[in-house]
Structure 1
Amino acid sequence: MDFIGLSEGLQQLPAPLFYVGATVLLLVSLLILRVASNHMTFKAPPVYEPIPFVGGLIKFVQGPMRLMSDGYRSKGEVFTVPLAHKKMTFLLGPHVSAHFFKANDDEMSQQEVYEFNVPTFGKGVVFDVDHKVRAEQFQFFAAALKTAKLHTYVPYFVSEATEFFGKWDQQGVVELQTELSHLIILTASRTLMGREVRENMFRQVTDLYHDLDMGMLPISVMFPYLPIEAHRKRDRAREELSKIFAKVIQARKASGAQENDLLQHFIESRYRTVYNGRMTNEEEITGFLIATLFAGQHTSSITSSWTGYFMMTHKEKWMKPAIEEQKRLMREHGEELSVEVLNKMEVLHAIITEALRLFPPLIMLLRKAKTSFSVTTSKGQQYVVPKGHIIFASPAFSHRLAGVFERPDEFEPDRFQAPREEDKRRPFSFIGFGAGRHGCMGSNFAYLQIKTIWSVMLRNFDFEMVDPFPQAQYNSLVVGPGPCRVKYMRRKLKV
């Protein structure tokens, strides 16, 4: 429509007709704009606000899964929850989460939303630095977790697991996650924190790490410096760990020892484009070690436990094939457990992945939108998420969506094997280790660690559940199973 021509034509009319014509033109213009706006994509996500101002906070503290479930049921895959002065937007499912995983740090930032980790990890590392420094620090982690390095870690996994299970009786009953948590702390102390910690300070460091861990609560996400006892113990533990690692680092540097562990790698790391190319300092190294331990310990111990519970619950269908796989590899390679042998365990790999799909330890991933961006739901609805919103993606919730995986609540490891390969149908369907630009760099480390542990267990023990299948503890920041005892009986696997 030629609005300029119409307006010029109106100006030639007598005054009464001019006003009538202008009014009609204005009404027509408003009608056209309204119709057009219904077809425009610049539409903010629907708002889910159970109780004005504080409703989101109450449900968030009670458990994010409840908040996501209620919001999804009410509003769908995309919705915004007002939280006091902040706006939280949830992107649930692969159709709406591509930008979350693909965007760079100038578009979707980690720093602001993960600042609650600073009291635990320490100042000057990871989420207490700008993205240029953080990118260099992440390169330190990436280099330490390359395949060549993993080859040096696996023998430590094997020796720690063999020694640990060698102390079990001929038969007995154990709380499985407690046992596996102890073992994984042992392997972590040797491969990550170093021989000195493993041999001389293991109990002291483990107790301090426990206090750090207990200081990471759901309320800590919103109020990391809240003056509560858990935070005070966290801060004291962080200070003591800093003193311990300073002494270990100084002693190792003075001795000139060259160890195959993450500590050695961090000691030798040097910045390339920031800080004038200096070496890492003691406080940074301590922060790197704590961050690595936090990233790996929970994922491995929790996923190892779920892996066992599922195999024991599906003995014929999944534990038996996992044992047969061990027999085949023992016929081919003897007792050897190397990177090459562990990588051939396709059945065990699928079981671990399915356990991680159903019960990922990290139920939420966070970013802050530095720019506005658009999303399109599986039903074709289009929304623009405004700049400044806190953005949530959820492995735990998205993995259970019927449109993403078939029979999503069922344990079916073959969904990750040919010909099903459901995780490959749409990008970002499986996000158990995150995805995209900030996918977990330690995923290979975790798989090798868990495969080693369960290889040693399957080769030496039979297992059966004593308690009912455990419930996930969704009221925790890192979600694991509730207490569950299993019975073990020692035996030697016959090949």
Structure 2
Amino acid sequence: MRRTIFSTPRTPAAAPNLPPRLEGGLPLLGHALEFRTNPIRLMERARAHHGDLCTVAMPGTDAIVMTGAKAQEKFFRVSDDDVSQAEAYRLMTPIFGKGIAYDAPPPIMKEQLGFFHEALREARMRTYAQGFIDEAEDYFSTWDDVGVVDMYAVGNELTIYTSSRSLLGNEFRQQLSGEFAKLYTDMEGGLSALAFMAPYLPTPAFRKRDKARARMVELITKIVDDRRERGTVGDDMLQSLMDASYKDGRKLSEDEICGLLLTIMFAGHHTSGVTFSWTGILLAQHPEWVAELRAEQRALLGDRSELTLEDLRAMPKLDATIKEVLRMYPPIVVMMRKVVNDFSFGGYDIPHGSMIFASPTVSHYMPEVFPEPHKFDPTRFMAPHNADKKNPMAWIPFGAGRHRCMGIVFAQLQLRALWSHLLRNFDFETVEDSYEPDYTRLLVGPREPCRLRYRRRSHKRVIAAA
């Protein structure tokens, strides 16, 4: 691949030298229908025909598909002055709020995301870990000794509980998690292809979305007011945002606090739920690796009856398993930016007004980076291979560079806690003939039903250490 980066803007009269254009497409719609039904097939075909850079037609604009480690590095490191996440993700503004995350100027967005550093410090992570372990213990204690469950539904329900507890505290989790789950579902229902184009149309789904967000602000404001009135301090992400200030000294408003909580919620909840379900499916399909994971659990815990944060961090095989699941089935299959200033890369012009796409799924199946990419092989993420560290611009389920999702540690800790419990206590078998991704969802999980048959192994209780 040619890699020449030009900084000199082209003259207005010059026609842009676009990357080669993918054949096919429909008048006016271009490749939009295929992108909607199976974006991976479209982007893999673009790469197969034209390499790292390929132009595909979308309604009203062109999109440049950027695949391969070098092109993806450019995608993630291009200046915020030249590309806009806000323009690409306008559908999130009604949920997060005006001036929050993608809708904020880049320096403000950087400050806002920085507020979560306090929420992810060591003491809080210890509290979150205990919450994950307790939630797993409580949730799975209600299962019969044998049964069949839909893993997609289980993952989404369980991670609602863990998320509401970590975000808003255990009291909220116990009292209002049912309402929280419904509000989240109504807000998520506002994420659609239409929302990309016109997120403020008065449709029934968008009205439910807006009503749910307003109610969420009411609930969070009540908690904030109650804590301030009583002088109590929570040990959750809400408290971190209540304590935070911008560089100019201004405290966050309740609407900003709510918006940032929803930002981290949408970034983490559904992705964790999806990855939880794919982990169960892949382990049920590979019992030989389950034996390796159980041996790791026995060697680590022995006869101990409590699980600690340090234990969750000392499970390299389970950690590698989750990374391999994320390689094979990343919940976010395409990442987008809107080009606002012309730039050039690889000998081609990337003009303003166009979109640029990067795809974790396409990247994760490049055989030159991940040999035998269709094979489930967690050892590729263990020493000495360490595929994620050796290829930081190719293993990209959480993005890369300065925009890499800071919740990656939180998400992986949560999944290790939940699956550590399940490995010790349950056996799983497949039920469906096959398990395929459902590309009709914005966050891609397994197509339903995605049932597994389970059998309880033991009733030994493993609890969190204080």
- TM-score, normalised to structure 2, is 0.90
Using the TM superposition, give the Cα deviation of residue 114 of structure 1 relative to its aligned residue in structure 2, in angstroms: 1.6
User: In the alignment, is the contact (CA less than 8 A) between 1:465 and 1:487 conserved in 2?
Assistant: yes
Partner of 1:181: 156
Partner of 2:50: 75
Aligned to 2:273, which of 301, 307, 312?
A: 301
Using the TM superposition, give the Cα deviation of residue 246 of structure 1 relative to its aligned residue in structure 2, in angstroms: 1.8
Using the TM superposition, give the Cα deviation of residue 240 of structure 1 relative to its aligned residue in structure 2, in angstroms: 1.7
Change over 3 Å in CA distance of 1:422–1:159 after alignment to 2? closer
Note the 1:320-339 alignment, pairs <5 A. 320-331=291-302, 334-339=304-309
Partner of 1:411: 376
Tell me the amino acid that sits aligned with residue 218 of structure 2: K
Change over 3 Å in CA distance of 1:426–1:322 after alignment to 2? closer
How many Å separate the matches in 2 of 1:468 and 1:339? Answer: 37
Secondary structure of 1:154's counterpart equals helix
Change over 3 Å in CA distance of 1:56–1:142 after alignment to 2? farther
Q: Does 1:397 align with 2:362?
A: yes
Bigger mean CA offset, 62-71 vs 279-288: 62-71
Partner of 2:403: 438
Tell me the amino acid that sits aligned with residue 310 of structure 2: E
Aligned to 2:290, which of 299, 319, 332?
A: 319
User: In the alignment, is the contact (CA less than 8 A) between 2:360 and 2:397 conserved in 1?
Assistant: yes
Change over 3 Å in CA distance of 1:323–1:435 after alignment to 2? same
Q: Deviations over 1:269-289 (max 9, x none)?
A: 11114xxx2111111111111
Partner of 2:31: 56
How many Å separate the matches in 2 of 1:339 and 1:372? Answer: 47
Partner of 1:284: 256
Aligned to 2:352, which of 359, 371, 387?
A: 387
Q: Does 1:90 align with 2:90?
A: no
Using the TM superposition, give the Cα deviation of residue 111 of structure 1 relative to its aligned residue in structure 2, in angstroms: 2.0
Change over 3 Å in CA distance of 1:373–1:334 after alignment to 2? farther
How many Å separate the matches in 2 of 1:134 and 1:432? Answer: 21
Using the TM superposition, give the Cα deviation of residue 93 of structure 1 relative to its aligned residue in structure 2, in angstroms: 2.1
How many Å separate the matches in 1 of 2:174 and 2:96? Answer: 24
Partner of 2:345: 375
How many Å separate the matches in 2 of 1:282 and 1:232? Answer: 21
| Identical amino acids, percent of aligned pairs | 40
Using the TM superposition, give the Cα deviation of residue 424 of structure 1 relative to its aligned residue in structure 2, in angstroms: 4.3
Secondary structure of 2:71's counterpart equals coil
Using the TM superposition, give the Cα deviation of residue 145 of structure 1 relative to its aligned residue in structure 2, in angstroms: 1.8
Q: Deviations over 1:267-320 (max 9, x none)?
A: 1111114xxx2111111111111111111111111111111111111101x111
How many Å separate the matches in 2 of 1:342 and 1:448? Answer: 7
User: In the alignment, is the contact (CA less than 8 A) between 1:309 and 1:469 conserved in 2?
Assistant: no
User: In the alignment, is the contact (CA less than 8 A) between 1:100 and 1:108 conserved in 2?
Assistant: no
Using the TM superposition, give the Cα deviation of residue 493 of structure 1 relative to its aligned residue in structure 2, in angstroms: 8.3
Tell me the amino acid that sits aligned with residue 46 of structure 1: P
Secondary structure of 2:420's counterpart equals helix
Partner of 2:454: 488
Please list every run of 5 or more consecutive structure 1 residues that lacks an aligned counterpart in the other structure.
1-41, 377-381
Secondary structure of 1:173's counterpart equals strand
How many Å separate the matches in 1 of 2:392 and 2:181? Answer: 39
Using the TM superposition, give the Cα deviation of residue 451 of structure 1 relative to its aligned residue in structure 2, in angstroms: 0.4
How many Å separate the matches in 2 of 1:157 and 1:84? Answer: 44
Secondary structure of 2:148's counterpart equals strand
Q: Does 1:357 align with 2:301?
A: no
User: In the alignment, is the contact (CA less than 8 A) between 2:130 and 2:309 conserved in 1?
Assistant: no
How many Å separate the matches in 2 of 1:230 and 1:470? Answer: 29
Partner of 2:9: none
Q: Deviations over 1:342-375 (max 9, x none)?
A: 1110111111101100110001111223443443
Using the TM superposition, give the Cα deviation of residue 128 of structure 1 relative to its aligned residue in structure 2, in angstroms: 2.1
Aligned to 2:436, which of 460, 471, 478?
A: 471
Bigger mean CA offset, 392-401 vs 86-95: 86-95
Bigger mean CA offset, 320-329 vs 144-153: 144-153
Using the TM superposition, give the Cα deviation of residue 441 of structure 1 relative to its aligned residue in structure 2, in angstroms: 0.3
How many Å separate the matches in 1 of 2:171 and 2:216? Answer: 14
Change over 3 Å in CA distance of 1:309–1:143 after alignment to 2? same
User: In the alignment, is the contact (CA less than 8 A) between 1:197 and 1:205 conserved in 2?
Assistant: no
Aligned to 2:81, which of 96, 106, 113?
A: 106
Q: Deviations over 1:145-172 (max 9, x none)?
A: 2334212211111111111111112222
Secondary structure of 1:55's counterpart equals coil
How many Å separate the matches in 1 of 2:315 and 2:350? Answer: 42
Partner of 1:18: none
How many Å separate the matches in 1 of 2:391 and 2:432? Answer: 37
Partner of 1:347: 317
Larger Rg: 1
Change over 3 Å in CA distance of 1:158–1:425 after alignment to 2? closer
How many Å separate the matches in 2 of 1:44 and 1:488? Answer: 53
Change over 3 Å in CA distance of 1:260–1:427 after alignment to 2? closer
Note the 1:115-264 alignment, pairs <5 A. 115-264=90-239
How many Å separate the matches in 2 of 1:337 and 1:391? Answer: 44
Using the TM superposition, give the Cα deviation of residue 426 of structure 1 relative to its aligned residue in structure 2, in angstroms: 4.1
User: In the alignment, is the contact (CA less than 8 A) between 2:340 and 2:353 conserved in 1?
Assistant: yes
Secondary structure of 1:97's counterpart equals helix
Bigger mean CA offset, 71-80 vs 116-125: 71-80
How many Å separate the matches in 2 of 1:418 and 1:240? Answer: 48
User: In the alignment, is the contact (CA less than 8 A) between 1:196 and 1:248 conserved in 2?
Assistant: no
How many Å separate the matches in 2 of 1:430 and 1:111? Answer: 24
Q: How many equivalent residue pairs? A: 444
Using the TM superposition, give the Cα deviation of residue 87 of structure 1 relative to its aligned residue in structure 2, in angstroms: 2.3
Change over 3 Å in CA distance of 1:155–1:427 after alignment to 2? closer
User: In the alignment, is the contact (CA less than 8 A) between 1:267 and 1:285 conserved in 2?
Assistant: yes
Using the TM superposition, give the Cα deviation of residue 446 of structure 1 relative to its aligned residue in structure 2, in angstroms: 0.6
